[in-house]
Amino acid sequence: MPKQKYLCIQRSQSGKGEKPSPAQMEEMYAKFHAWKEKFQKNIVDMGGKLGSGKVVTSEGATDGPFVEAKEVVGGFMIVSAESLEEALEVARECPGVVMPGSSVEVREIHTP
Partner 1 sequence: MTTPKLVEHFFRHEYGRLVATLSRRVGVQYIEDVEDAVQSALMTALETWTVAGLPDNPPAWLFRVAHNNLMGELRRRTGRRRILEQNVKEDIGTLENGPEIFLAGEVRDDLLRMLFDCCDEAIPVESQLVLALKTLCGFGIREIALRLFASEANVYKRLGRARSRLRELPLRPGELTGEQYSSRLPAVRKILYLVFTEGYLSSHAEMAIRRELCDEAIRLATILAEHPAGQAPETFALLALMHLHAARMAARQDSSGGLLLLEEQDRELWDQQGIQIGLDWLARSSQGDRFSRYHAEAGIAAEHCLAHSFQETRWDKVVECYALLERIAPSAIHTLNRAVAVAEWQGPPEGLAILKGFEPPTWLAGSYIWAAVLADLHRRCGNADTANRYRDVACKSAPTPAVKELLQRRLQIGSPG
> Rule CB under 8 A: which residues touch partner 1?
19-26, 28-29, 32-34, 36-37, 40, 46-49
Least distance in Å: CB of 33 to partner 1? 4
3-state class of 13 per DSSP?
A: strand
Please, which residue, 2 or 75, has the CB nearer to partner 1? Answer: 75
DSSP state, 43? Answer: E
| Cβ nearer to partner 1, comparing 40 with 111 | 40
Least CB distance to partner 1 at residue 19 (A): 6
A 10 A CB-CB count for 93 gives: 14
Q: Which is nearer to partner 1, 62 or 92 (CB)?
A: 92
Q: How far is the CB of 89 from partner 1 (least distance, A)?
A: 19
Smallest gap from Cβ 68 to partner 1, in A, equals: 24
The answer to whether 86 touches 42, Cβ cutoff 8 Å, is yes
3-class secondary structure, 85: helix
Of the two residues 21 and 111, which places its CB atom closer to partner 1 in the complex?
A: 21
First to last CA, the chain: 19
The residues near 52 (Cβ < 8 Å, ≥ 6 apart) are 64
